[in-house]
Each structure stands twice: as C-alpha cells, then as structure tokens.
C-alpha cells in the first residue's frame, strides 16, 4: 500500500511538459499530469509488442493468477485511489461513487480472471471434429472517458490481459491522474511493458486509433468520436468495441408504486451526478400516477446532499468540467423558457466555487424538447407524461441511440413484455444502469457495437480460430 502523497509522487513526471489538473469542486490544483507525445505512444506500443508474446505463452491460468494479484494490489491502495479519484473527477467518496468505483475495479479484475473460456466443440460426428478457440489479438488500444475513468479502464484492460494481449491506454485529458495511478498500482503485479498509460491529447488518440501495430481499439465516449475511430481504423481493419453515447429511457407503467420506486429512479438517473452513459436520462410516466411519481421523486432528490467529494456526508458532487456544466445549464434554461415546470433545482449558485449544478427535476415537458431529445449527461431529469404504453414505447424508441432502458412495474411479467419492445442493448426491470461483470453489456443503434463483460466480453478480446480435423 502506498500513501496518497507517495502515489501522487509516483505518477508526477520528473521532467518534460506537464499540465495542472484542477479539482472540479474547489478549483484547487490536484497534481501535475504528463503531456505525452506521439513519440511516447510509439515507445509504449513497442514495449507492449515486445512483452505480449511471453504473456500470451503463460496461458489462461497464469494470467488469471496475475490479475487476481493485481486486484489485491488495488484493494491495498483503495483509499488512496478513491481520494485521488474524488479530487480529480469530483465524485464523492461515499454513495455509488469513488470508493464504489475502486471496489468495482477489483471486482471486474476478479471476474475477468475467474470466467472460464474453454474451447467449444462445434461438430463431432465421428467423421468431422471442429473446435472453436480464441487466440490473443496482440496489442489492444484502450481509449477511456472522464466520468468513470478507473472503472471503465478496467472494463477494457482486464479482459484484454486475460486473453493474452498487451494494452496501451489513452485516458481522458480531464482525468489522467486517476488512470495513471491505477496503472501504477496494477503494474506492481504485471510484467514490464505489458500495460502502459499514455496521457496525451487528441493527436495521441488519433495516432493510437490508426496505428498499424494495434489490433483492436476499445473506446467508451461520444458517438461523434466513435465514428471518427471507425473511419481511422479502416485502413488496418482493426477490431472495435465501441460503447458510445446514450440517452436512456425509463417507462413507469400505471401499476407501479410511486413511493417504492422513487429511490431506484433517483439513483438510476443521478448516479455519478448524472454523468453516466447508461443513466436514466428521460423518464416516461403514465398519466394516472404522474403527479405521485413527481412528488415522491422530488422528496428523495431533495434529501440527497451535494458538495465536495471529500466530505463524507455528500453523495452528489460537481460536474467534472465547465463545458459539461454549460451544456446542462443551457438545456435546463431552454426547458424553463419553453414552459416546462421546474420541480427542483434549476438555479445554480453563481458565487459558489466549483462546477456544482443542483439536482434538477423538470416536469410537464414536451418529448421534442432538447432536454429530452439530447443527452444532458448531468443532474437534470425530464419527466414526460404519457397516456398509453404504445405511446411511451414509441417515444422511447424514437431516438437514434439505444444503450440502456428500463421498465418500472409491480408486475414483472408485464414489464418484461414492454422491455422486449424497447430498442436498447440492455433493458432493466425496476432498476436502471445496474451493470454486472458477469452479464454482457453493449449498445444498439448509434450507441455502439460489440459486447463487454462475461464470456462474450472475453471472446471480444480474442481472435476466433477454428481447428478442423
């Protein structure tokens, strides 16, 4: 276990260009991040390519054992990692936030290590025998976001390493320290050169996505950037797993109990202060219980404390960057001007330090309003009234994204019927955004393609090979 100061010192460059990272809650400096270059990327890729064959030759059991040791290392430094994450990203230590995220890193490493992937016998009829195996790709490039920087990085690297690949990571420019610290801890248990984080700018990301030595890109981020990666990957025919933007819908059926579902609705929408790809971002509620749901959800939301993440009492934090703050503010202001009713929030304190936007609930809003039609990615939830399930399903399916969705009902069988009609990669019943390392996860429509987690996630980090004979 390293102390917080020692961990920060270990990732602070001794020389070269650096960039100061500021706490989004206070505006105070957190630390200095390196500004890596394309030359640094080339060195990392060369080191990864050199380390990968020996790692692949170890076999699944030895690689899994190393990942389990890496999970132990994360847990030994869990509090230090959580504190750095809270200061850099803004999320509080408590609630489903910084400590939760670090714990999830260890959990995903363990599940990736422990998930069996045996050769599959496709045909064995006495004359023909064919087996399906999965071989390492080689070097995998991972490009991560700023909202869950540690956890999503582990989502990318854990299955890649388990399958015998080396990994080069390009973290978000907003949250490089968290990822650099995580990699520093993981590398205590991994061979040298196998895993490297290159904290550069857009030029580094573009070079990684098009590099001929990279066999696969894993990307979590915006749909626009995902499309650019698709284009840049074409010349080298890279494999891709893309988890892109979402604007998840939730449908509350008329038989739901408003008080019973209120807290689940809140966390489905406001986990990580709304900065989650698969968060509930537009809520459709039947007219018969619309007012009751609005009232119960407002009661829950009003009781959730927001503030500096290092304060143990808080469960909601600031938006990570001012650009995202401005997006949320503009969408809420436009909703108010359109005649929508603000149930809670909507008026940030201009003299408050940090990127704090209050928890905001917006009722009586048209489905065409930009707050509904565009992904807000922050603590503002529009609540739309509907009168028939067919109408709700049509509105939920109208957008060109489909990462997740949810149905809320006292009748699970009826909820599953509605869920089957929704165009989304995952549909949850009476919960939202509950990802599980054992259960495949991926998007529909322009929310991306490819699956992560579980057996399917492992397969996505390998090259299928049929041995026939």
Q: Report angle CA 191, 193, 196 to the nearest 5 degrees.
A: 115
Burial of 38 (0-12, 13-18, 19+ CB in 10 A): middle
Backbone angles phi, psi at 257, to 5 degrees: -95, 110
Among residues 365, 302, 290, 296, the alpha carbon closest in space to that of 334 is found at 365
Q: What are phi and psi of 15, to 5 degrees?
A: -155, 170
Residue 167 and residue 153 in contact, taking contact as beta carbons nearer than 8 Å: no
- Distance separating alpha carbons of residues 250 and 247, to the nearest angstrom: 10
Q: Look up residue 302 and give its two tokens.
A: 């009003």
Q: How many CB atoms lie within 10 A of CB 368?
A: 10
Decide the pairing of beta strands 404-408 and 448-449: unpaired
Output the CA–CA distances (angstroms, integers) from residue 174 to 21, 315, 382, 427, in the order listed: 8, 21, 27, 30
Catalytic residue among 88, 243, 296, 423, which? 243
Active site residue 105: no
Which DSSP symbol is given to 118? P
Helix (H) or strand (E) holding 313, with range, is none
Cα separation, 140 vs 186, in Å, equals 17
Q: How far apart are the first and last CA of the chain?
A: 51
β pairing state of 360-363 and 139-143: unpaired
β-strands 448-449, 239-243: how paired?
antiparallel
Q: Cα separation of 106 and 73, whole Å? A: 9
What whole-number distance in Å separates Cα of residue 132 and Cα of residue 466? 5
- 396 half-sphere exposure, CB direction, 13 A CA radius: 32
Alpha-carbon gap, residue 311 to 83, rounded angstroms: 11
Q: Are 87 and 310 in contact (CB under 8 A)?
A: yes
- List all residues 6 or more positions away from 390 whose beta carbon is below 8 Å from its beta carbon: none
Helix (H) or strand (E) holding 227: helix 223-233
Q: Which of 80, 105, 173, 277 is catalytic?
A: 277
Orientation of helix 38-57 relative to helix 202-210, angle to 10°: 40
Active site residues: 243, 277
């Amino acid at each position: 276990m390293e102390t917080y100061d020692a961990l920060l010192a270990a990732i602070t460059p001794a020389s070269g260009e650096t960039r100061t990272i500021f706490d989004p809650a206070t505006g105070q400096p957190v630390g200095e991040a390196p500004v890596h270059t394309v030359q640094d990327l080339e060195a990392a890729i060369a080191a990864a390519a050199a380390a990968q064959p020996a790692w692949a030759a170890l076999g699944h059991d030895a690689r899994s054992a190393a990942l389990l040791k890496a999970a132990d290392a994360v847990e030994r430094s869990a509090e230090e990692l959580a504190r750095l994450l809270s200061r850099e990203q803004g999320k509080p230590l408590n609630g489903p936030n910084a400590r939760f995220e670090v714990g999830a890193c260890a959990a995903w490493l363990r599940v990736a290590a422990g998930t069996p992937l045996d050769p599959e016998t496709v045909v064995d009829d006495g004359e023909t025998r064919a087996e399906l195996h999965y071989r390492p790709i080689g070097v995998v490039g991972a490009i991560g976001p700023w909202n869950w920087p540690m956890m999503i990085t582990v989502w990318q690297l854990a299955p890649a390493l388990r399958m015998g690949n080396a990994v080069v990571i390009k973290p978000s420019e907003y949250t490089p320290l968290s990822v650099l610290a995580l990699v520093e801890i993981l590398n205590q248990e991994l061979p040298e050169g196998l895993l490297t984080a290159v904290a550069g700018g857009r030029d580094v990301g573009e070079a990684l996505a098009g590099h001929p030595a990279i066999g696969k890109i894993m990307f979590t981020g915006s749909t626009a950037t995902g499309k650019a990666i698709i284009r840049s990957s074409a010349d080298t025919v890279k494999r891709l797993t893309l988890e892109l933007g979402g604007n998840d819908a939730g449908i509350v059926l008329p038989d739901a109990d408003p008080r019973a579902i209120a807290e689940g609705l809140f966390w489905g929408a406001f986990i990580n202060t709304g900065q989650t790809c698969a968060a509930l971002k537009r809520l459709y509620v039947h007219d018969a219980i619309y007012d009751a749901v609005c009232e119960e959800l407002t009661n829950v939301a009003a009781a959730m404390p927001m503030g500096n993440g290092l304060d143990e009492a808080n469960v909601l934090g600031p938006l990570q960057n001012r650009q995202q703050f401005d997006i949320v503010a503009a969408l809420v202001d436009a909703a108010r001007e359109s005649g929508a009713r603000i149930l809670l929030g909507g008026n940030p304190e201009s003299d408050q330090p940090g990127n704090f936007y209050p928890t905001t609930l917006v009722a009586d809003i048209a489905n065409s309003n930009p707050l509904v039609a565009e992904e807000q990615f922050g603590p503002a939830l529009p609540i739309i009234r509907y009168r028939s399930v067919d109408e709700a399903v049509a509105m939920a399916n109208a957008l060109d994204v489909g990462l997740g969705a949810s149905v809320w009902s006292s009748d699970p069988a009826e909820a599953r019927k509605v869920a089957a009609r929704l165009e989304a990669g995952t549909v949850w019943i009476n919960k939202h955004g509950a990802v599980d390392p054992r259960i495949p996860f991926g998007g529909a429509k322009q929310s991306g393609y490819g699956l992560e987690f579980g057996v399917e996630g492992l397969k996505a980090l390998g090259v299928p090979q049929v041995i026939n004979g």
